[in-house]
Amino acid sequence: MDATPTLIALLHGPDQPGLVARVASWIFERGGNILHADQHRDREVGVFFQRVEWQPAFSVAVGEGAASAAAKATAASHALADKSQGRPVDRAAAARDFSEFATHSLGMKVRMQSSDARPRVALFVSKADHCFHDLVLRWKAGDFPCEIVGVVGNHSDLREASEGYGLRFVQIAINASNKAAAELEQIALLREWGVELVVLARYMQVLSADFLATLGAPVINIHHSFLPAFAGGRPYHQAHARGVKLIGATAHYATRDLDEGPIIHQDVARITHRHGVEDLVRKGRDLEKSVLAQAMRWHLEGRVLVYGNKTVVFD
């Protein structure tokens, strides 16, 4: 299995003929090797989406559109030769070059990441522990390409468990009278830890619009319901009272609009009239764990592209 780090680009913008070919040609002309490529076109709005992952070769400058076909082929062969001889791959330069190409030549918005990046992640918790334990154990098993750098709780219930895993735990209590000050304390802590992603592992507090705007990092939440149905609190009680035959869980990015952020992943379980509220809660916990873990993994692997209030998730 080739463990050479790769570059991943997520790009989207106005659809136009030849985009796939131009992206592939740009990578080939610089000696790169495409490992995965997937694209999608939203016919309703005419927007093109693509995720492409490739192994870049040593950078050989070729003017966009200016070099002859022979010069480009020579540059590509030199790049491949450099790669075969073990010269270092300048992935940072390749990422910058591709971003410039995608932005200025294709008119696309682009996000780049390297496959060996390990973003710094913080978990927010309250009292429920099932999602917390599941995420930490998956991380320790190597399922997530990240570093969980600490746990923030508005209660102390998970302090012992966190420290037992070797994770820092900081309790910041929140109530109606201190919410603004507590959120500023949380943001200062996250910046001190260098956090690049926050995951709400059944954190039972609503994050304010100011918190989300100031943090400057994505926040993934798990909602114990198949949104948009049964938003807010006690969704399993609502579902039982409604007599539904499916219950679900939804992982989404947190936004200023409660439970309305872009959805990353959802799943459901069948129930019958024989299931009581406790059965729904038990089944729901299993869904919450798997849905949140999958959403976190897709985000870390650079598979989620957000546009508007929707997502494209590349498999």
Beta carbons of 106 and 22 less than 8 angstroms apart: yes
Q: How many residues does the chain have?
A: 315
What letter does residue 105 receive in the DSSP assignment? I
Q: What does the pLDDT read at residue 304? A: 98
Beta carbons of 300 and 7 less than 8 angstroms apart: no
Q: Name residue 153's beta-bridge partners.
A: 125, 171
Expressed in angstroms, the distance from the first to the final Cα of the chain is 20
Query: What is residue 272's three-state secondary structure?
Result: coil
Beta carbons of 115 and 6 less than 8 angstroms apart: yes
Cα–Cα distance measured from residue 282 to residue 298, given in angstroms and rounded to the nearest whole number: 25
Cα–Cα distance measured from residue 170 to residue 159, given in angstroms and rounded to the nearest whole number: 8
Query: pTM to 2 decimals?
Result: 0.85
Beta carbons of 226 and 248 less than 8 angstroms apart: yes
| Residue 11: both structure tokens together | 């790009």
What letter does residue 163 receive in the DSSP assignment? H
Task: Give me the DSSP letters along 194-225.
Answer: T-SEEEESS--SPPPHHHHHHH-S-EEEEESS
Cα–Cα distance measured from residue 188 to residue 192, given in angstroms and rounded to the nearest whole number: 6
Domains of the chain: 7-114 (3.30.70.260), 120-313 (3.40.50.170)
Check if 143 is active-site: no
Beta carbons of 52 and 1 less than 8 angstroms apart: no
Kindly report the backbone phi and psi dihedral angles of residue 10, in degrees, each rounded to the nearest multiple of 5, phi listed first: -115, 120
Q: What does the pLDDT read at residue 269? A: 86
CA distances from 281 to 205, 237, 249, 290 (A): 19, 9, 11, 15
Grouped pLDDT means (10 residues each) for the chain, 315 residues: 83 96 97 96 94 80 43 45 52 95 97 96 97 98 98 98 98 95 98 98 95 96 74 68 81 90 93 82 91 98 94 95
The packing angle between helices 277-300 and 130-140, to 10°, is 40
82, 129, 210, 259: which one is catalytic? 259
Question: Cα 73–77–83 angle (5° rounding)?
Answer: 145
Q: What does the pLDDT read at residue 229? A: 64
